[in-house]
Structure formats: C-alpha cells, structure tokens
Amino acid sequence: MTSMGTTGFEITVNIVKTLLVFLMMVQAVPILVWLERRGSAFIQNRFGPNRVGPLGLVQLLADAVKFLHKEDFVPDKANRFLFYAAPVFALIPASVAYMAIPMSVPLILGESKFLIQGFDINVGIVFILGISSLAAYTILMAGWGSGSKFSLMGAMRASAQIISYELALGLSIVGVIMTYGSFNLTEMINAQMGALSFSGFGYGTTIPWLPNWGIFYQPIGAIIFFAAAFAESNRLPFDLAEGEAELVAGFHTEYGGFKMLMFFIGEYGHMMIASGLLATFYFGGYLIPGITPDEVYQFGLGTFGSEAAAHIFNSVAHFLMYNVKFALFLWIFIHVRWTLPRFRYDQLMDLGWKTMLPWALGNTIVTSIVIFCAAYFKF
C-alpha cells in the first residue's frame, strides 16, 4: 500500500483522487451522449435534443430519471445471476483501465507528490490491454445470461470481433514499445518532449515547428491502432454487435432501463481509453506543443510568485491540454460514426485478419529493422 502514499494526508488525497477520476469518467458519458446526439443531428441537418434545458443539455439527466423509473425486468428464461452481473462488470474494465492513463504532470504540494492519474503502473500498456479486454467476458455474460438467441448471436459476433481486432491492436503497439523502449506511459510522454528531430546518414535535422510526437515515428501503427480501437469499442463502422434487421439490439436485446445505461457507460469508457491512449502514444499525451513542463512551471513562478501556485498552474495547464486532445479524438469517434457506412460481417473479419494484422506485422518488422540498422550501420 506504499504506492497510495506514506502519510495519512497522502493516502486520503490519493483515494479521493481515484474516486474523482472514476466519477469524471461516469460524468463524461452524459456529455458525450448529448454531443453524439446533437452532433449527429447537425450532420444530418436536423435539430436533435434541444427542449430540455439550454441546448438540450439536461436531456440526459431527464433520461436518467426516466431510466430509474423503469420497472426492473428479467425474462423467465434468463440466468438471473449473469443477467444482473453483466452490467456491473461492464463498468469495471473500462474504468479501471482508464485510471492508468496519465492526465497531467504530477502535482507537487510541499513534500508530497500527487500523480494526476488513478495509479501509476510501470507496465501501463500491458495493464490497460489486459484489463480492457476483459470486456469480452461482459458481453458473453450478457449474451448467455439473457437466454435469448438474438442476445447469444450478438454476443458471439461482438466477442469474435473484439478478439480479432485485439490482435491488430496489440501488434500495432509493439512498434510504439520499440520506439520508446518502455511500457510506462509517463516515460513515453516524456520521450515526446521538445521539437521533432531526425538523424540519418551522419546528418541531423531538427524541425522546430513540429513537436516530437510519436505519430511521426509510427504513422502506420497509429492508423492501425485508431481503426482497431473503433472495433474494440464496438463503434460504427464496426458495430456488427447490433443490427436492427438481423440481431435486433445484439447482446443487450433483453436489457432496459438502468442496466442498459451501464452498458453504455462501458462502451463510452472504451472510447475514452482509446482516445487517451491515442493521445499518449502518438500525440504527446498532456504535453503542450512547443513548451516543456519546466517552462510552464517557470512562467507560473514568474506570474504567481509562489512555488505551490506555480505547481498547481503547471498541472492545470497540462490537464487542460490533455483534455483538448482527448476531446478532439472523442469527437473524431463520433464524427466517423455519422460519416461512414457499416461493414458486412465477413468484410469486417477479412479487414481484421487479412489486412490490418499483416500491416501491423509489417510495421513491427520495418520498425525493428530501422532501429537495428540505425544502431549497427550508423546511418
């Protein structure tokens, strides 16, 4: 338990912080749902929710109240334990995995140092991949527990899709790990500090107007990771888990009310993990382009004159930067959903196994050859 702090003050702050990160995630879901409905409406040239509260912002609160008043329905054929356990377990993988993503520079208050993330894990990538792929069990629990053949078939499809794209996702990260030589997300972000600089054939070039982001080293890996993340979170164009004509609502056909809402929190949680990881791996995480955290700290020190205020300013500035990138990727997730048509199931599996997996493999091989040759032939 030493990681939670040594003094009572540190332990208390760390526990409160962990809860805050979780509540932030849960609270982000209504905003995202609102953004999705509102954004889709504008993309399709209609209004969307605009009656309840300003701009329809209170719509989701009204929805939650409605969900609470729905009667609690379990079909006779259902396995009651699995039926109730599935929505609860849907919350866990997404939330626990999101805790491991660093959101800002550590906040230093006097002797204590607080990380702006749930917990710092030295094998961050492995932890996040391991925990978030437990979502496949949730889907199977819901599908089998419902006792309906639509649920079961939807669950089979969804889990087969998730595990197929997990291969491409896992393999696209190997290039990232090789580039940074670390599993730790904070170390990866620190490696992306400064201006972009390449060196080759005895010459070195620095491009001062570009940040040293991972996407310039791993462009193909970034594309594969991004596409696989859509499939992992069951979003369109890969939302084969549900289909009005063939599968009704997929694995949550029998669910309604608050249990349904919990599946949604899980799904949006996976979108948030994907956005956070995309920002961390390829877009410098919480770093502000062109400015190092130390310069931000010095600026804060000059402006506010006290160290504590400068540290708080530093953390808040980077937290805002992280959220800008995070929100941008979440918006891309939403925009893609309302732009692209969906795949057929065999096309989906072909794309995962026969296109993305070989490309990810090629990316790994090319990355390792470049690193190897750069070290041995000094070019």
Partner 1 sequence: MPLGGVIFITLFIAVFGVILIYLARAIGGVAKRTSAAKMEIYECGIEEIEKKDTKVSVKFYLTAILFILFDIEIIFMYPWAVNFRDFIATGSGVAVFSSMMVFLAIFIYGLWWEIKSKALEWD
The distance of closest approach from Cβ of residue 279 to partner 1 in the complex, given in angstroms and rounded to an integer, is 21
The CB-of-91 to partner 1 minimum distance in angstroms stands at 5
**Which of 71, 201, 302, 305 lies at the binding interface for partner 1 (CB under 8 A)?**
71
Residues 103-132 that bind partner 1 (CB under 8 A): 118-122, 125-126
Per-residue binder mask for partner 1 (CB under 8 A), 73-102, x = binder: xxxxxx-----x--xxx-xx--xx--x---
In the list 254, 271, 278, 326, the residue contacting partner 1 (rule: CB under 8 A) is 254
Residue of 359, 175, 350, 148 lying closest to 254 (CA atoms): 148
Q: What is the largest CA-CA distance in the chain?
A: 73
Q: Quote the tokens at residue 73.
A: 């329905």
CB of 304 to partner 1, least distance (A): 31
| Residue 237 sits in the site that holds partner 1 (CB under 8 A) | no
Q: What SS3 state is found at 326?
A: helix
Binding mask 335-354 for partner 1 (x = CB under 8 A): ----------xx--xx--xx
Closer residue to partner 1, CB minimum distance, 101 or 317: 101
CB neighbours of 258 closer than 8 A, spacing ≥ 6?
67, 68, 70, 87
Q: How far is the CB of 170 from partner 1 (least distance, A)?
A: 5
Compute the distance between CA of residue 343 and CA of residue 351 in angstroms, rounded to an integer.
10
Please tell me what DSSP assigns to residue 352.
I
Of the two residues 39 and 256, which places its CB atom closer to partner 1 in the complex?
256
Within 194-233, the residues that bind partner 1 by CB under 8 A are none
Q: Which of 16, 68, 207, 320 binds partner 1 (CB under 8 A)?
A: 68
Tell me which of 72, 111, 204, 205 binds partner 1, using CB under 8 A. 72
The per-residue b/e assignment along 268-307, b for 16 or more CB within 10 angstroms, e otherwise, is bbbbbbbbbbbbbbbbbbbbbeeeebeebbeebbeeeeee
Residue 5 gets the label, from left (phi > 0), alpha (psi -120 to 50) or beta, of: left
Work out how close the CB of 63 gets to partner 1 at its nearest, in angstroms, rounded to a whole number: 13
Within 166-185, the residues that bind partner 1 by CB under 8 A are 166-167, 170-171, 174-175, 177-178, 181-183
Q: Do you know the residue count of the chain?
A: 379
Touching partner 1, residues 2-61 (CB under 8 A): 3-4, 14-15, 18-19, 22
DSSP H or E run through 245: none
The closest alpha carbon to 13, from 159, 116, 100, 102, belongs to 116
Q: 98 or 297: whose CB is closer to partner 1?
A: 98
Question: Tell me, what amino acid is at 197?
Answer: S
Separation of alpha carbons 33 and 286, rounded Å: 24
Nearest to 293 by CA among 275, 280, 276, 310: 310
State which residue, 4 or 55, has the beta carbon closest to partner 1. 4
Count of residues engaged in binding partner 1, rule: CB under 8 A: 84
What is the smallest separation between the CB atom of 134 and partner 1, expressed in angstroms? 11
- DSSP assigned state of 248: B
What binding mask, one character per residue, do residues 137-156 give for partner 1 by CB under 8 A, x or -? ---------xxxxxxxx--x
Q: How far is the CB of 324 from partner 1 (least distance, A)?
A: 26
Contacts of 119 (CB under 8 A, 6+ apart): 3, 18, 99, 100
Query: Shortest approach of partner 1 to residue 10 CB, angstroms?
Result: 12
Find the shortest distance in angstroms from Cβ 375 to partner 1.
Answer: 4
The single-letter code of the amino acid at 103 is: M
Q: Is residue 155 within 8 Å of 144, Cβ to Cβ?
A: yes
Q: 30 vs 300, which CB is nearer to partner 1?
A: 30
Q: Quick one: which of 216, 258, 264, 338 contacts partner 1 (CB under 8 A)?
A: 258
